[in-house]
Amino acid sequence: MPHLTTPPGAAVAAETGAARPGLGIPGYAHPLLAPVEWAELTRPGTPLHWAVLNVADGPGGRPDPHCTEVAAKLRGAGGTLLGHLAMRDGTRSFGELLSDACRYRDWYGVGGFYLGRAPAGKAELAAVRRVSDALRGLGPGLRIVLGQGIHPYEGYTEAADQLVTFSGAWADYRWSQVAEWTADHPAERFCHLVHGVPRTHLEEAVRIARWQGAGTVWFTDRRGTAARDPWASLPGYWDEIVSRIGPGVSE
């Protein structure tokens, strides 16, 4: 049994089914390499919160017709597409990030942005808030997700709609602990991305996410290596995860 720090009220929410999680897709491969993956996101009943589009470590140098097509289909199905902005731990300039964001908006009609490798320290908060405020100014209702992958300084909750507070392997996730300050915020403010989850442990992974108060999740049995992106393709148990997390399923 994993050792967890459970936020007050989280166990009650899990028992009552108060806030069922949905799926956040951190970035499939290019549509030419992963046509089935992108098509599955528009299947009726898929509990999708958002999916990330990353053309070429950003929007690329020109519109990609294959990405334009999947973006239009996802929007038509009511899904939210986020453009991937590579913050690189805060080393990219404000101007570079805004330029990439404008291309995502103009070329692919994204509904928000995923800031990959966003800083997590208190000292960098002001710079990240400047970027997120500028991104919100690009259009009404744009969603901002900070892809830190760890629990950042709590002030980052004011800079984004959602924080990715875990991104990593199942071996680490099943023994992970949640920061105590997350108990002061609703589950929809947090996302967990976990790779290498065996099919036999999928139910346990869902339970941990609920105990820790994550409203958006992504679990896959694909394993990450230096040469392999675990998020690039569907998990082997895609149908099971959709039915497990989808609407109408009770714990």
Residues 6+ apart with CB under 8 A from 39: 73
The percentage of the chain sitting over the pLDDT mark of 70, rounded to a whole number, equals 90
Distance from chain centroid for Cα 117: 12
Q: Any idea which architecture 10-245 has in CATH?
A: Alpha-Beta Barrel (3.20)
Ranking 18-22, 28-32, 100-104, 221-225 by mean pLDDT, the lowest is 18-22
Confidence at 247, pLDDT banded by 50, 70, 90: low
Instruction: Identify the pLDDT of residue 20.
Output: 65
Contact between residue 210 and residue 21 where contact means Cβ atoms under 8 Å apart: yes
pTM confidence score: 0.91
Do 231 and 36 meet the contact criterion of CB atoms below 8 Å apart? no
Domain ranges of the chain: 10-245
What are the tens digits of pLDDT across the range 159-170?
Answer: 999 999 999 999
Q: What is the mean pLDDT of the chain?
A: 91
Contact 194, 219 (CB under 8 A): yes
Of the candidates 151, 149, 141, the one whose C-alpha atom is nearest the C-alpha of residue 184 is 151
Distance linking the first and last C-alpha atoms of the chain: 18
Q: How far is CA 8 from CA 5, 154, 184, 211, in A?
A: 9, 17, 9, 10
Cα separation, 118 vs 148, in Å, equals: 5
Mean pLDDT of 68-97: 97
Residue 24 pLDDT more than 60? yes
Confidence class for position 107, pLDDT limits 50, 70, 90: very high
Output 194 or 15, whichever has higher pLDDT.
Answer: 194
Can you give the pLDDT at residue 134? 98
Reported as a single tens digit per residue, the pLDDT across 166-188 is: 999 999 999 999 999 999 999 99
CA 214 to chain centroid, in Å, comes to 11
* pLDDT for the residue 9: 38
What pLDDT shows up at residue 19?
52
Given a cut of 60, whether residue 147 has pLDDT beyond it is yes
> What is the pLDDT at residue 226?
75
Q: Across residues 30-38, what is the average pLDDT?
A: 96
Pick from 98, 194, 115: nearest CA to 156:
115
Report residue 230's pLDDT band, with 50, 70 and 90 as the boundaries.
Answer: very high
For the residues 35-57, what does the mean pLDDT come to? 95
- Residue 185, amino acid: H
Rounded mean pLDDT of 222-247? Answer: 90
